[in-house]
Amino acid sequence: MDLKSLNKDRILRQILPSTFFIVFSALAIFQSSILIGKVLGAIVILLLLGNIFLKSFMGRFIGIMLGIIFLLCSCYFLMALFSDIVKEKATLAGGYWVGLVLVLSCMVMSVLLIWGYENKKPICETKQC
C-alpha cells in the first residue's frame, strides 16, 4: 500500500470497513474460550489485512467474499434479534438496542466493503477515453 493510493474513496470503502471488522475479530479472539474461535478470528484478521494491502485480483476477491459473508451473518443476527423481540423474550428497552445498532453498523460496513470494489469506468463523451 503506497501513500498515493490513499484517497477518500479508498479509505471510506476499503480501509474503514476492514479496520472495523479487524477490531470486532480481535474482540472475538479475546472473548472466545475455545480454540476454534480464536483460530477463525485470526484467519479473518489475516484475510482483512490482506484485503487492505493487496491490490491485485486476490485482494478484490477477498474483500468481496468477506463483505458478502459479513452481510449474510448480519442478516442472520438481525433476524434472530427480531425473532426474540416478536416472541417477547426480549425488548429493545432491555439493552437489545445495542445489539441492533451493532448489527446495523456491521451491515453498513459490509456493504461498503462490497461496494469498494465496483468497476469504475471513465465516463466521457468522446470515444478516446
Taking the chain, what is the end-to-end CA distance rounded to the nearest angstrom? Answer: 27
Closest CA to 96 of 107, 82, 110: 82
Closest CA to 70 of 42, 33, 44: 44
Q: Phi first, then psi: what are they for 56, rounded to 5°?
A: -85, -170
- The CA dihedral of 103, 51, 32, 110, to the nearest 10 degrees, is 10
Closest CA to 24 of 60, 75, 74: 74
> Over its length of 129 residues, how does the chain's per-residue pLDDT go in tens digits?
555 556 777 777 778 888 999 999 999 899 888 999 899 999 999 988 888 887 777 778 888 899 999 999 999 999 998 898 888 887 777 778 888 899 999 999 999 888 877 665 544 555 555
The three cell numbers of residue 107 are 451491515
pLDDT of residue 99: 85
| Residue listed under C-alpha cell 459473508 | 69
Range 6-11 contact pairs with CB under 8 angstroms and sequence separation of 24 or more: 9/116, 10/116
pLDDT of residue 93: 75
The three cell numbers of residue 95 are 439493552
pLDDT of residue 78: 92
